[in-house]
Amino acid sequence: MVSAPLDTIERPSAAKERLRLWIRLLRASRLIEGELRERLKRDFDSTLPRFDVLAALYRQPDGMLMSDLSRFLLVSNGNVTGIIERLVKDGLVSRAAREGDRRASIVKLTATGERRFTEMAAAHETWIEEFLGDVSRSDAERLSATLKTFRSNWEDGH
Amino acid sequence: MVSAPLDTIERPSAAKERLRLWIRLLRASRLIEGELRERLKRDFDSTLPRFDVLAALYRQPDGMLMSDLSRFLLVSNGNVTGIIERLVKDGLVSRAAREGDRRASIVKLTATGERRFTEMAAAHETWIEEFLGDVSRSDAERLSATLKTFRSNWEDGH
DNA sequence: CTGCAATATTTCAACCTTGAAATTTCATGC
DNA sequence: GCATGAAATTTCAAGGTTGAAATATTGCAG
């Protein structure tokens, strides 16, 4: 037993590789998020959290509960309260008590909100294409699959 | 010319694939960030932004300027001001005017800060291994390489 | 019915974040 | 010397974020 396993000598451990991955993942998201934030502000006088809420509601024409939204977006309840408040004030979202349950509110896009969102979504798509256009289709598929697996495993255990 | 190109019929366009990639990237970072935030709070009564600053300073024993920090961490100047304020109050970071230039402050870890950071960093590594342990070494390497390429291309153009 | 746990949301303090304006200090051309 | 622009940082308002405590409503066991 003179030598350690090859893995620990000849290249970074798998753990180090995963740590490096996390750091790059974080930096990439921050770069992209920062750029998106800037453009949403510039072109639509809006924000990323608002965009996320609109996107979630767009997929659910029958509306969502506040708690549905916070679960789906991975943010706290109190957070959603504030964001919805502003979207309602801007006329992009409507809010009504759920039939027969005055605790729950059902939140929907208004017609204006829907129109506004489709504009934002179109711009968003071209921006992402601008940012990630250099990633080949096969890389995108592989990466995407890895991240999906990660998330499934994660959510099963938590 | 009866049929469109195969790409557009048989599977999502490369652009859609990249959009999907972005969404998964974002969700993965948020899941991990959320979990890290929770544990840093629970075990060290600290936060992710503070951890990031300590990590940056740990790599630069001679200290950094406020502006170095904000550039490296991809956050605004004003942001760094507040975080450093709290770290100084907690005794983890020291601050002094740069020799011969009273505009600039050089920020360093204190001995306490260095000790504290190494504890946090050790925990951080085991957490990341817990989160990403299911990602194989080769997947980690591939993903990491793709993200690195993306970032290089990005930073060249901006 | 009535009390009490569960559910849905809001409130609040503390912190993070940005971008723009203000402040302080430095460097340089005249 | 000195104005004046550049550089480094701070300040500030507006918004995003969390987690814990408070509020309001519902459902249900007895």
Q: What is the 3-state secondary structure (H, E, C) of chain B?
A: CCCCCHHHHHCCCHHHHHHHHHHHHHHHHHHHHHHHHHHHHHHHCCCHHHHHHHHHHHCCCCCEEHHHHHHHHCCCHHHHHHHHHHHHHCCCEEEEEECCEEEEEEEEECHHHHHHHHHHHHHHHHHHHHHHCCCCHHHHHHHHHHHHHHHHHHHHHC
Fold of B16-128: Arc Repressor Mutant, subunit A (1.10.10)
Tell me the residues of chain B between 40 and 79 that have a Cβ less than 8 Å away from chain A.
Answer: 74
Question: Residue B17 pLDDT > 90, yes or no?
Answer: yes
> To the nearest whole percent, how much of chain A has pLDDT over 90?
84
Distance CA A83, CA A26 (A): 24
pLDDT, one tens digit per residue, over A75-122 is 999 999 999 999 999 999 999 999 999 999 999 999 999 999 999 999
Which pLDDT belongs to residue B34? 96
φ/ψ (deg, to 5) at A107: -115, 135
Question: Residue A53 pLDDT > 60, yes or no?
Answer: yes
Which pLDDT belongs to residue B142? 92
Question: Residue A26 pLDDT > 90, yes or no?
Answer: yes
- Report the footprint of strand C: residues with C-beta closer than 7 angstroms: A 34, 37-38, 41, 65-68, 77-78, 80-82, 84, 101, 103-105; B 47-50, 74-79, 82-83, 86, 100-103
Average pLDDT taken over every residue of chain B: 92
Which pLDDT belongs to residue A133? 94
Tokens of A2: 């003179």
CB-CB neighbors (< 8 A) of B134 in chain A: 149-150, 153
CA of B36: which chain A residue's CA is closest?
A: A22
CATH architecture of A15-128: Orthogonal Bundle (1.10)
CB-CB neighbors (< 8 A) of B144 in chain A: 17, 20-21, 24
The answer, for B24 touching chain A at a CB cutoff of 8 Å, is yes
Residues in chain A: 158
Question: Residue A8 pLDDT > 60, yes or no?
Answer: no
Burial of A53 per CB tally in 10 Å (0-12, 13-18, 19+): buried
Which pLDDT belongs to residue A12? 81
More confident residue, A10 or A41: A41
Tell me the residues of chain B between 104 and 143 that have a Cβ less than 8 Å away from chain A.
Answer: 125, 128-129, 131-137, 139-143
The beta strand positions in A14-71, using DSSP E, are 64-65
Which pLDDT belongs to residue B12? 81
Which pLDDT belongs to residue B11? 77
Residue nearest to nucleotide D24 (CA to C1'): A103
pLDDT, one tens digit per residue, over B75-107 is 999 999 999 999 999 999 999 999 999 999 999
**Average pLDDT, stretch A12-34?**
94
Question: Residue B141 pLDDT > 80, yes or no?
Answer: yes
CB-CB neighbors (< 8 A) of B28 in chain A: 25, 147, 150-151
Distance CA B107, CA B82 (A): 13
pLDDT, one tens digit per residue, over B51-72 is 999 999 999 999 999 999 999 9
Which pLDDT belongs to residue A65? 98
B10: confidence class by pLDDT, cuts 50, 70, 90 = low
The answer, for A22 touching chain B at a CB cutoff of 8 Å, is yes
DSSP symbol at A56: H
A11: confidence class by pLDDT, cuts 50, 70, 90 = confident
A4: confidence class by pLDDT, cuts 50, 70, 90 = low
Which pLDDT belongs to residue B129? 96
pLDDT, one tens digit per residue, over A129-157 is 999 999 999 999 999 999 998 877 777 77
